[in-house]
Amino acid sequence: MSKYNITLPVSPNLRKNEPDITKVIRFNFSRRGALIYIAHLDMLRLFERALIRSGLKFVSSQGFNPRPLMVFALPVGIGVEVDNDLVEITFYGGPDTEQAADKLNASMPPDIRITNAHYEDRASGSIMAMVNSAEYTFMHKDLSRIVRTAMCGEVLNVTKGSKGKGGKVKDVDIKPLIHKLDFPDDNTIKAVFSAGSKNNLRPDLFLKALTTDSGFSLKNALDTVIIRNRIFLEGDHQVAEK
Amino acid sequence: MSTVYIPRHILLSVEKPARYVGGEWNSVLKDVHDVYIRTALCFPDTYEIGMSHLGMKILYHMLNERDDVFCERAYMPWTDMMSRMKEDNIPLYTLETKTPLNEFDIVGFTLQYEMCYSNVLHMLDMGGIPVYAKDRKQDDPIVIAGGPCAFNIEPMADFFDAVFIGESEDQLSKFSDLYREYILRGKDTFDRDGFLAEAASSIQGIYVPRFYEVKYNDDETIRSIRAYSQDVPDVITKALIIEPDKAYFPVNLIVPNTEAVHDRVSLELFRGCTRGCRFCQAGFVTRPVRERDPGLLLDIALKSQKATGYEEIGLLSLSTSDYSGFKELASSLIENTEGTNTSISLPSLRLDSFTADILEKASKSRKSGLTFAPEAGTQKLRNVINKNISDNDLKDAMEIAFSGGRNTVKLYFMLGLPTEDDDDIDGISILAHDIVRSYWQIPGETRRRKPEITVSAAMFIPKPFTPFQWESQDQLDELYRKQNYLRDKLKSKYIKFQWHGSKSSVWEAVLARGDRRLSKVIYRAFQEGCCFDAWDDKFDFEAYERIMSEEGLDISFYANRKRLFDEVLPWDHISCGVSKEFLINENIKAHSGVTTDECRSICSGCGAAAFGGGVCFE
């Protein structure tokens, strides 16, 4: 484990009581059950409150409205189960990673579990900027056939934007954002999509692209189970050939 | 026993599905086979509002401390979810085990405001429970209600099996004990009416509406309200916790998964209010004031904060700064949360107790707005309503606020108060403009921004158990005229004017002092799809107007009619401990502009001393 310390601005009264050393811990976590229906902002709040309940000494941002220094690698949408997402949190001192994970788990609703924790020692940069792709599993009756058919076309278009807010509606080809597709059985597909700040394919948008007037309906798309298996960071893996 | 399954496509096509799935921190799960009684507590408004309510959390955790009870929660689904559930025949279910409401033993509603009544009927119906109490059979749940509206439950009397008047902690415990006794004798032979009669006769403040007969005069007023049987009390006196320090108070409060309206630790400093503002129902029905020990409160606050992870502790009570341990408590809270992100919020401050000290404490927290309630624009009218603050109190408070670097102030007023004339409305405008002027008089270096004064005007609604329970409400067109009059007077660009819906104030006035004949109106409104009446964009006043006239009832009979002191009021068989003589005397004093001192200066003999505790014996 590295001894690299990130020096952060610390509010004056905290400085008195806390050691100056701060360390970033990267946590892997899963989310299932009822909690797949909460929005990203609610996830942030839930983690914040769990942090406070855990009694761990986390570092907060400065300013009038201080927030814990906590960065999620990739926001997760409503309805998406998570196997292994990443969040980085900055702590004072160097809490034992395993203990930190245990304390957080004890302070979280059971539907969210910390599965791993380790010190993150890179010199700079946000974990968000490092995300390049994500692997998903989709499950619905006959999904393999539906996806195979859809992928036969030159392009796979999806309508983006909303008509309501006076926004522009346009068709976008999402095929270039799909890096890998596996078909473990008739009802399951595994896929690797572009993810992160540059190119990002949301899983619900992929399902929307599969919908047709007669076959796979919007209701089918909404009923499709979505699991995000993992997030790939730069250097984690070579993007596979299609 | 059944579990409701809600398909993904429904949850993913409604707004904020987190409201419908449960799984919150500190929510309670039990094996349903391990308990004798399954209770569902229902809040007849959205999850975000219901989860802000401290009372329901207290009862939820209190019941779940018992091994023999499993208490779950249900909230009113928003209209999108409601229609999806109806399309797919999904019954209303509890968040903990997704069980339909009709499979519970006891289903309880908390009634915080009259405008939630139509929602109650929807929740019963969606939960598979017969809406009318008389239609419920042996194995249907016992449907109960409590909360401030229980004090005049008459418009909803036909829908509840039992109504809990007053503070419900002890009542609900005893009710559960008695229920267990009955079902242990055999669930098949459960005697519904026998159980309700025994509850009504043995537990304080339990009212079973169908045990009472209401007779009417030819002029539509009430002739008499009498119990059919001698076993139940003629007058039902509210229950209360006389020693709040000994009352159950949970620290492991449930924390919502999506933001609630009041998303914080609520710390109840005391119950009751010493002030006696003559329009305020809460101020009379919660008498006498009973304070909690500051040391105990600090302990509860810190433990709750740790158990919930909330970053805000809100001091909750009818008039927070009247708490005699206020200074100690506020400073010790601030001291103990120093260096953390936790903030302290102080709602309901009185103008005459607002000091630089309090402002400083509030400044350390993140809240920026200050809110005060002068309620009326002139000293004359403030004397009528017994809101004993002066123009100088207001001036001083504003000076402190502005010198302390604040620039936004919100002021609450009421329009349509008894004896009000246009001079009183002018007074609101003069006050507001004076405040703007006083802002420009403070030293320039303190004024970093422009002043923002918000004048918020609600309509006066006469409420039962207040000295104004006999008063008339202004007619709708008069309310509009007063609103426009005030709006035109508030010329300054630094003053923002907000007002409360007049039509909903009229309907609220009808329900607040309504009698049993309104049950059929509420029932028909529910059948026609009226719901979320407390939401201005959902409230359909014209529907209620039409149903009223179709049922041969008159809105102005309930809202705009001045009652005589000797009229039998629909709630005369209920007692909150404050005597009718006292209220009559207060009404007479109001009309001659005479004020009444608050309880701590001198006892005015309201009758609440009969409860044997609190401020009456300090």
Residues of chain A with Cβ-Cβ distance to B310 below 8 Å are 49, 52
Q: CB-CB: which of B17, B308, B311 is closest to A37? A: B17
- Interchain CB distance below 8 Å, B309 and A51: yes
Residue B615 three-state SS: helix
Contact B347, B320 (CB under 8 A): yes
Using the predicted structure, report yes or no on whether residue B502 has a pLDDT greater than 50: yes
Q: What is the separation of C-alpha B471 from the centre of its chain, rounded to a whole number of angstroms?
A: 21
Confidence at residue B154, expressed as pLDDT on a 0 to 100 scale: 98
User: Which alpha helices (H) appear in chain A, and where do they start and end?
Assistant: 12-17, 40-54, 97-106, 127-130, 143-152, 203-210, 218-223
Q: CB-CB: which of A14, A33, A41 is closest to B339? A: A14
Q: Are strands A170-173 and A157-160 parallel, antiparallel or unpaired?
A: antiparallel
Query: Chain B: residue nearest A222 by CA?
Result: B9
- What order of strands is seen across the sheet that includes strand B312-316? B265-268, B312-316, B343-345
- Interchain CB distance below 8 Å, A67 and B341: yes
- Interchain CB distance below 8 Å, B13 and A50: no
Using the predicted structure, report yes or no on whether residue B368 has a pLDDT greater than 70: no
Per CB distance under 8 Å, which residues of B are interface residues toward A? Answer: 7-9, 11-13, 16-18, 20-25, 255, 257-259, 305-311, 338-339, 341, 366
Residue B174: is it exposed, middle or buried by C-beta count within 10 angstroms (0-12/13-18/19+)?
middle
Residues of chain A with Cβ-Cβ distance to B338 below 8 Å are 13
Residues of chain A with Cβ-Cβ distance to B339 below 8 Å are 11, 13-14, 16-17
- Interchain CB distance below 8 Å, B257 and A109: yes
Confidence at residue B360, expressed as pLDDT on a 0 to 100 scale: 65
Interval B183-239: pLDDT, tens? 999 888 899 999 999 999 999 999 999 999 999 999 999 999 999 999 999 999 999
Confidence at residue B188, expressed as pLDDT on a 0 to 100 scale: 85
CA-based nearest distance A219→chain B, Å: 6
Using the predicted structure, report yes or no on whether residue A4 has a pLDDT greater than 50: no
| Angle of CA points B6, B7, B10, to nearest 5° | 95
- Interchain CB distance below 8 Å, B258 and A38: yes
Q: CB-CB: which of B258, B310, B338 is closest to A13? A: B338
Distances (CA, A) of A204 to A19, A173, A211, A226, B272: 45, 15, 11, 8, 52
Interval B2-54: pLDDT, tens? 899 999 999 999 999 999 999 999 999 999 999 999 999 999 999 999 999 99
Please state, in angstroms and rounded to a whole number, the distance separating the CA atoms of residues B528 and B132: 16
Q: CB-CB: which of A41, A67, A109 is closest to B25? A: A109
- Interchain CB distance below 8 Å, A45 and B21: no
Using the predicted structure, report yes or no on whether residue A12 has a pLDDT greater than 50: no
Best interface-test mutation with A: which of B257, B334, B364 has the largest number of A CBs within 10 A? B257
Q: Are strands A80-92 and A225-233 parallel, antiparallel or unpaired?
A: parallel
CA-based nearest distance B28→chain A, Å: 11
Residues of chain B with Cβ-Cβ distance to A64 below 8 Å are 366
Cα Rg of chain A, angstroms? 20
Choose among B592, B593, B598, B594: nearest CA to B352.
B598
Confidence at residue B235, expressed as pLDDT on a 0 to 100 scale: 97
- Interchain CB distance below 8 Å, B18 and A39: yes
Q: CB-CB: which of B7, B21, B307 is closest to A53? A: B307
Best interface-test mutation with A: which of B6, B12, B84, B336 has the largest number of A CBs within 10 A? B12
The partner residues of A85 in beta bridges, in order of sequence, read: A29
- A238 against B375, higher pLDDT: B375
Please state, in angstroms and rounded to a whole number, the distance separating the CA atoms of residues B543 and B548: 8
- Interchain CB distance below 8 Å, B366 and A46: no
- Interchain CB distance below 8 Å, B23 and A34: yes
Please state, in angstroms and rounded to a whole number, the distance separating the CA atoms of residues A199 and A131: 10
Query: Chain A: residue nearest B264 by CA?
Result: A49
Average pLDDT, chain A: 87
Residue B584: is it exposed, middle or buried by C-beta count within 10 angstroms (0-12/13-18/19+)?
middle
Using the predicted structure, report yes or no on whether residue B363 has a pLDDT greater than 60: no
Using the predicted structure, report yes or no on whether residue B533 has a pLDDT greater than 70: yes
Please state, in angstroms and rounded to a whole number, the distance separating the CA atoms of residues B607 and B580: 9
Using the predicted structure, report yes or no on whether residue A9 has a pLDDT greater than 70: no
Confidence label for A167 from pLDDT (cuts 50, 70 and 90): low
Confidence label for A164 from pLDDT (cuts 50, 70 and 90): low
Best interface-test mutation with B: which of A17, A35, A37, A112 has the largest number of B CBs within 10 A? A37
Residues of chain B with Cβ-Cβ distance to A222 below 8 Å are 8-9, 12-13
Per CB distance under 8 Å, which residues of A are interface residues toward B? Answer: 11, 13-14, 16-17, 33-35, 37-39, 41-42, 45-46, 48-53, 55, 60, 64-68, 78-79, 107-111, 219, 222-225
Predicted complex: ipTM over 0.90: no
Residues of chain B with Cβ-Cβ distance to A219 below 8 Å are 9
Residues with Cβ < 8 Å from B347, sequence gap 6 or more?
B314, B315, B316, B320, B371
Confidence label for B278 from pLDDT (cuts 50, 70 and 90): very high
Confidence at residue A15, expressed as pLDDT on a 0 to 100 scale: 44
Residue B525 three-state SS: helix
- B604 against B328, higher pLDDT: B604
Q: Which of B140-144, B182-186, B338-342, B433-437 has maximum average pLDDT?
A: B140-144
CB pairs under 8 A between A and B: 86
Choose among B149, B81, B90: nearest CA to B114.
B149
Using the predicted structure, report yes or no on whether residue B541 has a pLDDT greater than 70: yes
Q: CB-CB: which of B11, B22, B309 is closest to A53? A: B309
Please state, in angstroms and rounded to a whole number, the distance separating the CA atoms of residues B306 and A191: 42
CA-based nearest distance A10→chain B, Å: 11
CA-based nearest distance B302→chain A, Å: 11
**Model-level pTM?**
0.93
Q: CB-CB: which of A49, A108, A219 is closest to B308? A: A49
Please state, in angstroms and rounded to a whole number, the distance separating the CA atoms of residues B21 and B7: 11
Residues of chain B with Cβ-Cβ distance to A140 below 8 Å are none
Contact B261, B46 (CB under 8 A): no
Which H or E element spans position A231?
strand A225-233
Q: What is the separation of C-alpha A105 from the centre of its chain, rounded to a whole number of angstroms?
A: 18
Phi, psi of A108 (to 5 degrees): -110, 150
Confidence at residue B394, expressed as pLDDT on a 0 to 100 scale: 86
CA-based nearest distance A12→chain B, Å: 9
Choose among A224, A230, A149: nearest CA to A187.
A224
Distances (CA, A) of A89 to A16, A195, B255, B515: 21, 21, 22, 59
Residues of chain B with Cβ-Cβ distance to A78 below 8 Å are 12, 17
Residue A139 tokens, joined: 């499950």
Query: Chain B: residue nearest A78 by CA?
Result: B12
Using the predicted structure, report yes or no on whether residue B549 has a pLDDT greater than 90: yes
DSSP state for residue B268 in the 8-state scheme: E
Q: CB-CB: which of B20, B309, B339 is closest to A52? A: B309
Q: CB-CB: which of A39, A53, A108 is closest to B306? A: A53
Confidence at residue B365, expressed as pLDDT on a 0 to 100 scale: 52
Distances (CA, A) of B272 to A103, B295, B300, B403: 41, 20, 20, 33
Residues of chain A with Cβ-Cβ distance to B366 below 8 Å are 64-65
CA-based nearest distance A242→chain B, Å: 30
Residues of chain B with Cβ-Cβ distance to A108 below 8 Å are 25
